[in-house]
Chain A
Amino acid sequence: AQSVTQPDIHITVSEGASLELRCNYSYGATPYLFWYVQSPGQGLQLLLKYFSGDTLVQGIKGFEAEFKRSQSSFNLRKPSVHWSDAAEYFCAVGAGGGSQGNLIFGKGTKLSVKP
């Protein structure tokens, strides 16, 4: 079955510290992978996407993610977290970059940032 697992429900990091949010997927075909961020009471904003090519992708707000096919992972990283990064982060996998195909979301990881 197709699925996305974000093992960490809630993570707290200190401002300025590095961050890694984990995402593992199970998908039968070549996956298209996404990370979205949601601030409280807001919609989802696309951080970055992986379709093909270089397995390290850069996104907005200083985020990057690395696709590791052998580990079925697409972890999100940021070298230095800012207080404004506190939000909920969702990993998603689908078929086709923008198609109407099903996009499967993880349950999300809530990030808190300590001053």
Chain B
Amino acid sequence: DVKVTQSSRYLVKRTGEKVFLECVQDMDHENMFWYRQDPGLGLRLIYFSYDVKMKEKGDIPEGYSVSREKKERFSLILESASTNQTSMYLCASSSSRDPRYFGPGTRLTVL
């Protein structure tokens, strides 16, 4: 079974803090993704990566950056957290043979 894990299920941070969300997959997938999910807005793609050290902007990259130093790990970084970044963050991975599999999500609250 594909396993995508995220470092935290719940996270509370203060405005202006630097926030790291970590995602690890164990299926040797080349593609990894970060989404945020908000009521009424559905899932929106923030960034994705199709290889180590490669990244592409999604639909809403502003205020976020990413890092992919190893194939299995994809990090989402909020350089200076703001209250409008309070959301559920979902990581996913895929390959040419596997569709997109999601992690359990991190619910981030920025106070």
Chain B residues packing against A (C-beta within 8 Å): 4, 6, 29, 31, 33, 40, 42-43, 45, 48, 50, 56, 90, 92, 94-105, 107
> Which residues in chain A, 44-60, are within 8 Å of chain B measured between CB atoms?
44-46, 49
The one of B43, B50, B107 in contact with A105, judged by C-beta atoms closer than 8 angstroms, is B43
The one of B6, B56, B102 in contact with A45, judged by C-beta atoms closer than 8 angstroms, is B102
The answer to whether A108 has its CB under 8 Å from any CB of chain B is yes
**B92 to chain A: which residues have CB within 8 Å?**
44
Q: Is the interface of B mostly helix, strand, loop or mixed?
A: strand
Cβ A44 vs Cβ B90 within 8 A: yes
Cβ A108 vs Cβ B94 within 8 A: no
**B99 to chain A: which residues have CB within 8 Å?**
32, 34, 46, 49, 97-98
Question: Interface range on chain A: under 10, 10 to 19, 20 to 34, or 35 or more?
Answer: 20 to 34
Given contact pairs A98-B96, A99-B96, A100-B94, A43 touches B104 in the complex (Cβ within 8 A) = yes
What 0/1 pattern do residues 101 to 115 of A give for CB contact below 8 A with B?
011011110000000
